Chain A
């Protein structure tokens, strides 16, 4: 039939409407039944090339909506991330506070045990004495300067045999080296003498394990 018309339809548009149209025309031409006549009037204006080009395509809409969605999702995720960060920050700050507290606690401990009073008392407790007769060896000629004498055990104690006379309120309750054992023994003998429920309390106190394990004679850290 009208090959002119068919030719006017572009290849893409030809599939359905042209086929339908040509099919319908073919049917109409082949069997012109009067009953089917009113249904035949489905006509459509075939858009011109420029009209078709101006029409928005679904792809563009998809891209626009997709981008919008992506932005919303990204915004949401960022927001969640930041909030999550805030909570993490909060937890870490709490942890930092905790660590600062333990730092303070141990540095206070260190401060008081390294005070001269404590060191001298511990030196005394270990039986150390100081030598009040300094002598020097001059390296250039090997000369001995001063009068070397052995330290005297009785008069040479660091605190002069009188104990510590320089007060330090922070040292109350800080045990001397070797004293924990003595205290334990005292507690045990005390418990044996009294033999009442108080001794059970003393015996139940958990033994403090040294944090640095003893290996041989000297405390050695585990790390190498």
Chain B
């Protein structure tokens, strides 16, 4: 029988042994889990961990109806390892190259040449770029080829399904510098790439449960514009026709909603197809109606007339004798665009006949400072605030810098420069009862989480009284009802107010260019103004006056009234007498 002493010793030994084992294991555990934890984890992870980028998509740009104008697509780049391609013999390589070339459209010989060039440089070359920017269809065909040495990379790129429709406005992304809304609204559109890591087994399949999203990807927001892509296309198409017919160098058409300031179409010719920017002269990549100010010319007279009415210094029937040329006596020497005998005009007639001498004499009733303040309120000399890169504020010099010629010239749109959009903004004030609402191009930016930002402010600026605004439109109606271009401008059923402009442009050497920057700006219907349309043509050659722009104004305005189902006018024209 085992003795009591013996039993006690055995128990002690067992307990000691167990305690020692537990102690050793515990120490090791602490060593692994705590002391060396970081190092070991790093080692184990780097051994088989793979990190992949989670792509955050750049947001779409859509028009007012949600039609996609710019979207993100994936394009593919095919590359090959020439060393491995030639490994099976040259014949096989040529055969493979022929198949690849047939799909990419390069032709087999070109692909063989690529391989040869790479191998000549380095017989062990493992990289040659075959083709970049392929669409999915081409990629799928290439991917089906049984060549392990042919590999692909996926890239995000931008696609503009409607081509040049609003292309200048949208701009593009390019390594040489972004442009347009793609640049200025990058904060809304840009997505943020994320990262995830996982560990993979010997066959490349992720080990279950090892995927860790280090940083989630964030998609960019959807930028919604105020533009109507169909109207935009129509404007660009008809503008292109008119530019061609009149031999102009360029042209702009802008349509804005009178009561909201929303720009519905902003066309330029030459237009830019962001899918293929090299087809367009780089100076027309930008939207010149926002970036390049020009002397607006006689369309400015409507603003001066509105000030006169608002200040009570004139009425539509205030008479003035307008000669062909007129001297202020202080150095200003002005004349009208075409010779005429002295005309007995009212303020209405001054607008209808677009008389510089008449406007100068009537405009003297206002001080320079008053006119300057009004012009500022009309938005002249300040950027419109539209989110477009390099927008110009135009040039409106302070009153102290006005010489006598400038003092008068600013009444009829010379000695001052403005972009087309600034002028549209000023006319918007006339069309909106004398209150200017800043023009807008963007309705907002909708983020993936549903929040909407970048909604333009609708800060209203009272410019002239509602009475003055509607009286001015009534006077401008005379241009359409009985002016020189009445046949081209009238739209049956609608009361249309318009003003023409035939502006000389500085040649940069102190003089003026021989051809003109012609325009027609107008509002319809006068009894309840809904839309402002501005048509500008640069340096037409077949017809050099605003008659070149008038047919296009008519086409665009008709289309606008039809598109938006604007009700025909029910009242009769204002019919202020142009002569006394």
Scan residues 82-136 of chain A and give those whose CB is less than 8 A from a CB of chain B.
82-83, 85-87, 89-90, 101-102, 104-105, 108, 111-112, 114-117, 120, 132-134, 136
A200 at interface (Cβ–Cβ under 8 A)? no
A169 touching B279 in the complex, CB below 8 Å, given contacts A116-B230, A116-B233: yes
B244 touching A162, Cβ below 8 Å: yes
A86 touching B206 in the complex, CB below 8 Å, given contacts A104-B73, A167-B276: yes
A170 touching B161, Cβ below 8 Å: yes
A87 touching B205, Cβ below 8 Å: yes
- Chain B residues, CB < 8 A from A56: none
Whole-angstrom distance between the alpha carbons of A171 and B71 in the complex? 16
How close is A224's CB to chain B, nearest CB, in angstroms? 30
How close is B282's CB to chain A, nearest CB, in angstroms? 16
A188 at interface (Cβ–Cβ under 8 A)? no
Name the residue of chain B whose CB is nearest to the CB of A164: B237
B233 touching A120, Cβ below 8 Å: yes
A105 touching B275 in the complex, CB below 8 Å, given contacts A116-B165, A145-B493: no
How close is A220's CB to chain B, nearest CB, in angstroms? 27
- Chain B residues, CB < 8 A from A145: 493, 567-568
B312 at interface (Cβ–Cβ under 8 A)? no
B74 at interface (Cβ–Cβ under 8 A)? yes
Name the residue of chain A whose CB is nearest to the CB of B161: A111
B130 at interface (Cβ–Cβ under 8 A)? no
How close is B9's CB to chain A, nearest CB, in angstroms? 24
B229 at interface (Cβ–Cβ under 8 A)? yes
- Chain A residues, CB < 8 A from B273: 167-169
- Chain B residues, CB < 8 A from A83: 208
A160 touching B208 in the complex, CB below 8 Å, given contacts A105-B135, A170-B160: no
B214 at interface (Cβ–Cβ under 8 A)? no
Whole-angstrom distance between the alpha carbons of A160 and B159 in the complex? 28
B324 at interface (Cβ–Cβ under 8 A)? no
- Chain A residues, CB < 8 A from B165: 115-117, 166, 168
- Chain B residues, CB < 8 A from A112: 161
B164 at interface (Cβ–Cβ under 8 A)? yes
Name the residue of chain B whose CB is nearest to the CB of A85: B208
A11 at interface (Cβ–Cβ under 8 A)? no
Name the residue of chain A whose CB is nearest to the CB of B166: A166
Whole-angstrom distance between the alpha carbons of A85 and B229 in the complex? 47
A160 touching B241, Cβ below 8 Å: yes
A210 at interface (Cβ–Cβ under 8 A)? no
Scan residues 470-526 of chain B and give those whose CB is less than 8 A from a CB of chain A.
492-493
B18 at interface (Cβ–Cβ under 8 A)? no
Scan residues 555-577 of chain B and give those whose CB is less than 8 A from a CB of chain A.
555, 558, 561-562, 565, 567-568
Q: B71 touches which one: A111, A134, A159 (CB < 8 A)?
A: A111
A146 at interface (Cβ–Cβ under 8 A)? yes
Give 1 or 0 for each of B142-165: 1 = CB within 8 Å of chain A CB: 000000000000000001111111
A167 touching B163, Cβ below 8 Å: yes
Whole-angstrom distance between the alpha carbons of A166 and B209 in the complex? 53
User: Which of A145, A160, A167, A170 has the most chain B CB within a 10 Å cutoff?
Assistant: A167
Whole-angstrom distance between the alpha carbons of A15 and B241 in the complex? 118
A147 at interface (Cβ–Cβ under 8 A)? yes
A167 touching B279, Cβ below 8 Å: yes
B238 at interface (Cβ–Cβ under 8 A)? yes
A165 at interface (Cβ–Cβ under 8 A)? yes
B289 at interface (Cβ–Cβ under 8 A)? no
- Chain A residues, CB < 8 A from B136: 101-102, 104-105, 108
B213 at interface (Cβ–Cβ under 8 A)? no
- Chain A residues, CB < 8 A from B159: 108, 111, 170
- Chain A residues, CB < 8 A from B139: 101
Q: A114 touches which one: B161, B209, B236 (CB < 8 A)?
A: B161
B562 touching A134, Cβ below 8 Å: yes
A108 touching B161, Cβ below 8 Å: yes
Whole-angstrom distance between the alpha carbons of A207 and B161 in the complex? 27
Name the residue of chain A whose CB is nearest to the CB of B206: A86
- Chain A residues, CB < 8 A from B229: 116
Name the residue of chain A whose CB is nearest to the CB of B278: A169
How close is B139's CB to chain A, nearest CB, in angstroms? 7
Scan residues 154-177 of chain A and give those whose CB is less than 8 A from a CB of chain B.
159-160, 162, 164-171
Scan residues 73-91 of chain B and give those whose CB is less than 8 A from a CB of chain A.
73-74
Whole-angstrom distance between the alpha carbons of A111 and B514 in the complex? 44
A105 touching B163, Cβ below 8 Å: no
B329 at interface (Cβ–Cβ under 8 A)? no
Name the residue of chain B whose CB is nearest to the CB of A149: B492
A115 touching B208 in the complex, CB below 8 Å, given contacts A101-B136, A136-B568, A162-B241: no
Whole-angstrom distance between the alpha carbons of A87 and B203 in the complex? 10
Q: A169 touches which one: B163, B234, B241 (CB < 8 A)?
A: B163
How close is A27's CB to chain B, nearest CB, in angstroms? 35
B27 at interface (Cβ–Cβ under 8 A)? no
How close is A131's CB to chain B, nearest CB, in angstroms? 9
A166 touching B160, Cβ below 8 Å: no
User: Which of B140, B237, B271, B561 has the most chain A CB within a 10 Å cutoff?
Assistant: B237
A171 touching B163, Cβ below 8 Å: yes
Scan residues 47-96 of chain B and give those whose CB is less than 8 A from a CB of chain A.
68, 71, 73-74
Whole-angstrom distance between the alpha carbons of A169 and B275 in the complex? 6
B332 at interface (Cβ–Cβ under 8 A)? no
A146 touching B493, Cβ below 8 Å: yes
User: Which of A90, A101, A112, A136 has the most chain B CB within a 10 Å cutoff?
Assistant: A101
B426 at interface (Cβ–Cβ under 8 A)? no
Q: B567 touches which one: A136, A159, A167 (CB < 8 A)?
A: A136
Scan residues 28-64 of chain A and give those whose CB is less than 8 A from a CB of chain B.
none
B68 touching A111, Cβ below 8 Å: yes
- Chain A residues, CB < 8 A from B275: 168-170
Give me the 4 closest cross-chain CB pairs, A-B, nearest first.
A168-B163, A111-B161, A165-B240, A116-B233
Can you name 22 A-B residue pairings with CB atoms under 8 Å? A86-B205, A87-B205, A90-B205, A101-B139, A101-B140, A108-B73, A108-B159, A108-B161, A111-B68, A115-B165, A117-B162, A120-B237, A133-B492, A162-B244, A164-B237, A165-B244, A167-B276, A168-B164, A168-B275, A170-B160, A170-B161, A170-B275
Which B residues contact A (CB, under 8 angstroms)? 68, 71, 73-74, 135-137, 139-140, 159-165, 205-209, 229-230, 233-234, 236-238, 240-241, 244, 271, 273, 275-276, 279, 492-493, 555, 558, 561-562, 565, 567-568
